[in-house]
Structure 1
Amino acid sequence: MSTPVRSAAPISPSTLTTLSVVGSINLDITATASRLPSPGETVGGAVLRQQPGGKGANQAVAAARLSGRSRMVGAVGQDDAGRTLLDAMAGAGVDIQDIARVDAATGTALVLVDSDGENQIVVCPGANGSVSLEGVAFAEDEAVLCQLEVDQDVVLETARRTKGFFVLNAAPAAPIIPELLERCDLVIVNETEYALIPALKNAPLVAVTYGGDGSAIFVHGERVAEAPAVKVTDIANTIGAGDAFCAALVLALGSGLEHSHALAVANAVGADAVRDSSSQPALKSLEHYIEATRPSDAALSADATR
């Protein structure tokens, strides 16, 4: 029996009440140096810091800071790092009731960052390998966002259980289970991931980021909307920018924005994220970004005459 293909229509603002994220939670141990080392090379003079991270947690925190609420489904260890990460998410406004504490070390990411914000990352999944949906339910008025830093079978089960709008941030790039792709209402990737996952060329709705060249939305491979990047000269860290973009795009679409405006909102949020050294950057409200990127009357008139 074939899997029913889900609708790729935009989220209705009258039905979306919250964003739930199912995914990874990590402690980021970051060394910032003047440049990244070559294989076998040692670079001295770095600055070490520890901070909350993980693509799932980053997205949940970004959503909470933008909208005032979000929910995280994941797992951390029984260690001090797990408690620290739970406290950080709760402090940002994330509902943490569906985060399990398991008998495994909390996930850890070893991050190297250079003076331009470029990075190299090694992830030790730890407790993220124990993420479970036991006891978790999703309502019809929820958008659900996943990534590929937890077991893809868990992501697939999340998609099957989602009654509302299901979004996959297909990162890091990996072959996607066909049924999972069929169940996606929206897939979000960067240009490298888009090239590495050929099946996305036929997906109903895909958002692609192009760094300094902005972002675009494709419907069944046809480019239907785009928005330019926001120029940033004071880059501090690029790690959390993609995650902030993902949360912002889903929330912007859920606010009823058309595709180009939603992309512009997400680009603006991503630009603010790279100015912050944290993987879970401070952000303004979603309404601020919506107003800041709202097309002018002159621009709308020009578009209407084309």
Structure 2
Amino acid sequence: MPAKVVVVGSLNMDLVTRAERLPRGGETLIGTSFATVSGGKGANQAVAAARLGARVSMIGCVGSDAYGEQLRGALLAEQIDCQAVSVVEGSSGVALIVVDDSSQNAIVIVAGSNGLLGPETVARFDAVLQQAEVIICQLEVPLATVGYTLKRGQALGKTVILNPAPASGPLPAEWYASINYLIPNESEATALSGVMVDSLESAEAAAACLIKAGAGKVIITLGAQGLLFASEDEFERFPAPKVKAIDTTAAGDTFVGGFAAALASGMTEAEAIRFGQVAAALSVTRAGAQPSIPSLSDVQAFVPL
């Protein structure tokens, strides 16, 4: 069956350790646990969309190492179409993650095979893009690839979502016209807009800048404060469901994947936002990246605290 959601992006093996707090510069801490977990923003969002009801295809690259085999296998186990997940010579992408006792994390990413996902690779699998209803991109693969995919998605008349993570500065100006939904968190919205996002009011100011730049609609995720939805003529705040957080890793990815799956299923925009929020809230009650992502039945059964 044709894919409803296509994710173009990264696959990483997450090397996760927990410690009482995050280390300061030059400091060595004793950790309390360690695990290797399949991750990467692209793969996380693909898994989220699949578990939450969408038919999903992934376009990406893994290395010729053992991690690559595991990463591809993890997607296949979720019934995700991997015909466009290429194996390239060398190491897979990895993410080094430290999670503290307050559930905050610090992450260092090494691109590895993700850096070899070029526009020509995406073009080779154009038939996969053509089968999509929703196309999702992030910024853990080369920018040229992201730009190509956004433009191609627009040309095909698809709903195009960009989760600009990680972001260290403004996006290329020509990208905005191809983006239906731009979904940054507070720090990413700050980097993109130049407006320090530390309140609902500043989030509105940042969103207004991004709409003016040409983005179709903007959703700024604000963690426990919920999110801000913005369009050319509307601002709306969506409070976060109340849960007890254990680990915030992949919460943003779960929201993006859930939102995309809900749109592809025919939900309204507001319904899709709330659906993604519940999925993200459930994810923070569990440890890890992909292991924390809930199923459709989990979301349907959710009761907030």
- Residues 51 and 17 from structure 1, CA distance in 2 versus in 1: closer, same or farther, beyond 3 angstroms? closer
Instruction: Write the distance in 1 (CA, Å) between the matches of 2:229 and 2:259.
Output: 11
Aligned counterpart in structure 2 of residue 44 of structure 1, from 25, 30, 55: 30
Does residue 260 (structure 1) correspond to residue 270 (structure 2)? The answer is: yes
Aligned counterpart in structure 2 of residue 144 of structure 1, from 135, 141, 149: 135
Instruction: Write the distance in 2 (CA, Å) between the matches of 1:166 and 1:145.
Output: 6
Does residue 194 (structure 1) correspond to residue 169 (structure 2)? The answer is: no
Aligned counterpart in structure 1 of residue 178 of structure 2, from 170, 174, 183: 183
- Residues 192 and 107 from structure 1, CA distance in 2 versus in 1: closer, same or farther, beyond 3 angstroms? same
Structure 2 residue aligned with 1:304: none
Structure 1 residue aligned with 2:42: 56
Q: How many residues align?
A: 275
- Residues 90 and 17 from structure 1, CA distance in 2 versus in 1: closer, same or farther, beyond 3 angstroms? closer
User: What SS does structure 2 have at the residue aligned with 1:41?
Assistant: coil
Decide which structure has greater helix share: 2
- How many Å apart are 1:252 and its aligned residue? 2.1
What letter is aligned with 2:140?
Answer: E
Contact 1:228 1:264 in 2 (8 A): no
Where do residues 93-132 of structure 1 align in structure 2 (5 Å cutoff)? Answer: 93-131=79-117, 132=121
In the alignment, structure 1 segments of 5+ residues that lack a partner are 1-15, 294-306
Instruction: Write the distance in 2 (CA, Å) between the matches of 1:158 and 1:50.
Output: 30
Q: Which one has the largest radius of gyration?
A: 1
Instruction: Write the distance in 2 (CA, Å) between the matches of 1:101 and 1:256.
Output: 34
- How many Å apart are 1:140 and its aligned residue? 5.9
- How many Å apart are 1:179 and its aligned residue? 1.6
Instruction: Write the distance in 2 (CA, Å) between the matches of 1:126 and 1:44.
Output: 28
- How many Å apart are 1:291 and its aligned residue? 8.1
Structure 1 residue aligned with 2:196: none
- Residues 106 and 141 from structure 1, CA distance in 2 versus in 1: closer, same or farther, beyond 3 angstroms? closer
TM-score by length of 2: 0.84
Does residue 270 (structure 1) correspond to residue 280 (structure 2)? The answer is: yes
Structure 2 residue aligned with 1:166: 160
Instruction: Write the distance in 1 (CA, Å) between the matches of 2:70 and 2:263.
Output: 32
Instruction: Write the distance in 2 (CA, Å) between the matches of 1:147 and 1:225.
Output: 24
- Residues 45 and 205 from structure 1, CA distance in 2 versus in 1: closer, same or farther, beyond 3 angstroms? closer
Structure 1 residue aligned with 2:122: 133
What letter is aligned with 1:175?
Answer: P
Instruction: Write the distance in 1 (CA, Å) between the matches of 2:211 and 2:54.
Output: 34
Identity level (%): 34
Structure 1 residue aligned with 2:147: 156
User: What SS does structure 2 have at the residue aligned with 1:277?
Assistant: coil
- Residues 139 and 291 from structure 1, CA distance in 2 versus in 1: closer, same or farther, beyond 3 angstroms? farther
Does residue 214 (structure 1) correspond to residue 226 (structure 2)? The answer is: yes
Contact 1:76 1:107 in 2 (8 A): yes
In the alignment, structure 2 segments of 5+ residues that lack a partner are 194-208
Deviations 1:187-206 (A, max 9, x none): 11112222221251422211
Does residue 78 (structure 1) correspond to residue 64 (structure 2)? The answer is: yes
Contact 1:225 1:260 in 2 (8 A): no
Structure 1 residue aligned with 2:16: 30
Instruction: Write the distance in 2 (CA, Å) between the matches of 1:17 and 1:98.
Output: 12
Structure 1 residue aligned with 2:247: 237
- How many Å apart are 1:84 and its aligned residue? 0.6
Contact 1:265 1:290 in 2 (8 A): no
User: What SS does structure 2 have at the residue aligned with 1:189?
Assistant: coil
Instruction: Write the distance in 2 (CA, Å) between the matches of 1:68 and 1:212.
Output: 26
- Residues 264 and 31 from structure 1, CA distance in 2 versus in 1: closer, same or farther, beyond 3 angstroms? same
Aligned counterpart in structure 1 of residue 74 of structure 2, from 82, 88, 98: 88
Contact 1:215 1:263 in 2 (8 A): no
